[in-house]
């Protein structure tokens, strides 16, 4: 495994791989890797000749009051995890390497962002789309792997690839969970002991909604209410949102049908957790 910190060196290395007709799988991350990231790397390892992992805490996707400075970082730990998962190249650029001067062009996302996390994080997905545009052009991957934990991000990336005609196949990978159902997240370390016990109830609320749908419930408001009631009953967290949409379009429905997503965000004392469940009716 090779660690590369500059765009020029990475492009040179990958151009050599491409000349040898090697396929490239790409896993974008902000580091502090956990089992969810490992599932992406292992999937990429199975499906490609070369695996590239980027570790970059992207300032463009953090708002002024968000946790850019305190976002957990541990590059030595990440290197060991990536090596064990079979990564060939880690691209670990500094902010100055990715954004050396004030950009003359950025990417603005026009749809799939006026709901869920997008309403509370203006500019977040513009930052995601901008940095991914750079990464796709720098790396030129055949496939890019994204976890469905951030299902809105997957929907936005799908639109980015389609609208900009990137020759990249988007590979969504299922959420990896703890034994009690809590979705794996780098931010879970900010939960205190009591909150950690409560946090498993987020997924249980989603499962209660799924059970109601399987029993015939088709009103999206009633489905959302089931989740809210469960979270309010079993946790001390504050609900940011519980929303139900057609997926991946993220469009509201009067009556549930087709492929849908039930998504939530809940704030605890020092962290905001997201989770979701998708299903086809």
Tokens read off for 43: 């999937």
Q: Tell me whether residue 34 is annotated as binding.
A: yes
Which residues share a beta bridge with 244?
Answer: 262
Is 127 annotated for ligand binding? no
Of the candidates 136, 10, 28, 134, the residue with the CA atom closest to the CA atom of residue 82:
28
Collect all residues with Cβ–Cβ distance below 8 Å to 54 and sequence separation of at least 6: 26, 27, 28, 29, 90, 91, 92, 93, 135, 139
Let me know if 230 is a catalytic residue. Answer: no
Distance CA 195, CA 182 (A): 11
Taking Cα atoms as reference points, which of 150, 113, 163 lies closest to residue 272?
150
Whether residue 186 is annotated as binding a ligand: the answer is yes
Please give the structure tokens belonging to residue 77. 């730990």
178 appears as a binding residue in the annotation: no
Q: Is 187 annotated as a binding residue?
A: yes
Is residue 158 part of an annotated ligand binding site?
no
Residue 207, annotated as binding a ligand: no
- Does 185 show up as a binding residue in the annotation? yes
| Residue 32 annotated in ligand binding | yes
Q: Could you say which of 37, 124, 230, 259 is catalytic?
A: 37
Instruction: Report the largest interatomic distance among the alpha carbons of the chain, rounded to a whole angstrom.
Output: 58
Catalytically active residues are 37
Annotated binding site for ATP: 30-37, 147-150, 176, 184-187
Annotated binding site: 30-37, 61, 147-150, 153, 176, 184-187
């Amino acid at each position: 495994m090779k660690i590369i910190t500059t765009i020029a060196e990475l492009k040179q290395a990958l151009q050599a791989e491409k000349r040898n007709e090697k396929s490239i799988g790409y896993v974008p991350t902000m580091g502090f890797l956990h089992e969810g990231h490992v599932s992406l790397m292992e999937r990429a390892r199975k499906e490609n000749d070369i695996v590239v992992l980027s570790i970059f805490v992207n300032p463009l996707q953090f708002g002024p009051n968000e946790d850019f400075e305190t976002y957990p970082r541990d590059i030595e730990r990440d290197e060991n995890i990536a090596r064990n998962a079979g990564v060939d190249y880690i691209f670990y650029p500094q902010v100055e390497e990715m954004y050396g001067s004030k950009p003359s062009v950025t990417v603005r996302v026009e749809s799939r962002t006026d709901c869920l996390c997008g309403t509370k994080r203006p500019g977040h997905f513009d930052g995601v789309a901008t940095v991914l545009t750079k990464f796709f052009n720098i790396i030129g991957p055949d496939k890019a792997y994204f976890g469905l934990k951030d299902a809105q991000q997957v929907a936005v990336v799908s639109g980015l690839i389609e609208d900009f005609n990137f020759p990249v196949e988007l590979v969504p990978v299922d959420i990896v969970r703890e034994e009690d159902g809590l979705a794996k997240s780098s931010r879970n370390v900010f939960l205190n002991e009591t909150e950690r016990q409560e946090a498993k109830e987020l997924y249980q609320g989603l499962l209660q909604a799924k059970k109601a749908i399987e029993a015939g419930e088709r009103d999206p408001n009633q489905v959302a209410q089931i989740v809210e009631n469960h979270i309010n009953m079993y946790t001390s967290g504050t609900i940011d949102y519980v929303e139900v949409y057609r997926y991946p379009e993220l469009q509201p429905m009067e009556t549930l049908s087709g492929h849908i997503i039930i998504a939530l965000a809940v704030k605890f004392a020092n962290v905001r957790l997201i989770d979701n469940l998708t299903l086809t009716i």
